[in-house]
Structure 1
C-alpha cells in the first residue's frame, strides 16, 4: 500500500450543462471538500494526495461514493487517474539554493560594473 494521488480532468462545457447548484465553478470546490473529508489533501489544480496509505480498492471506493453523491461528475469527467506515490522529497531547498547563488552572481556583477 502507498499514498495515492488523484488527478481529475473535467469537461467545463459539460459542467455548464450538468452542474446543478448554480455556478459550475463550484464543482471543483465540491470535489475538494469531499476528498478532504475523506482523507485527501489538495496539492494543486485538480490534484489530491491521500494523507495515509491506501490500496487501489480503497481509493476506488472513495471515488465511487463521490460519484454517487455528485451525479454530474460522470458526464463531466474527461479523465481521473490514480497514481501510487513513492517517497516524496521536497526540492524547495534546492530551488532556494539556486536562487541565492544566482542572486549573489548578479550582485557581484553589478558591484563590478559600479567600480
Structure 2
C-alpha cells in the first residue's frame, strides 16, 4: 500500500500534487513524501535510484526511457484528471480545428457532452 512507501513527488504548488492529496484523502491514507521535485525526469531518476516511488500518468512515464521502472495502475478508485481544449471563437471554424476536435472527442470526451464543444 502507498502508506508504507517513501515517495518522490512534485512540489506542493503543482496541480497534480493537489490531486494526489485529494486521491489519498478519498482512500483515507497519508503519503510519506521523502523528496519533492519540479521535473518529471528528476522524479523518474529518483525512482530508478530507488529513493522512493512516484505517482504519474502512465502516458507521461512511457514517454521517457525507463526500462528499470515498473508501472502499477491505481484502481478502485482510479484517479482521474479533467482536461479541456481551449480555442479561440471563430465566425467559421477552420476545417482542421473541427477535425482535431472530432478526433479528440473519440478518445477523451463523454459523447453526451460533445455538443458543448462545437
User: TM-score category by the smaller chain?
Assistant: under 0.3
Structure number with greater Rg is 1
TM-score by length of 1: 0.25
Structure (1/2) with the larger strand percentage: 1
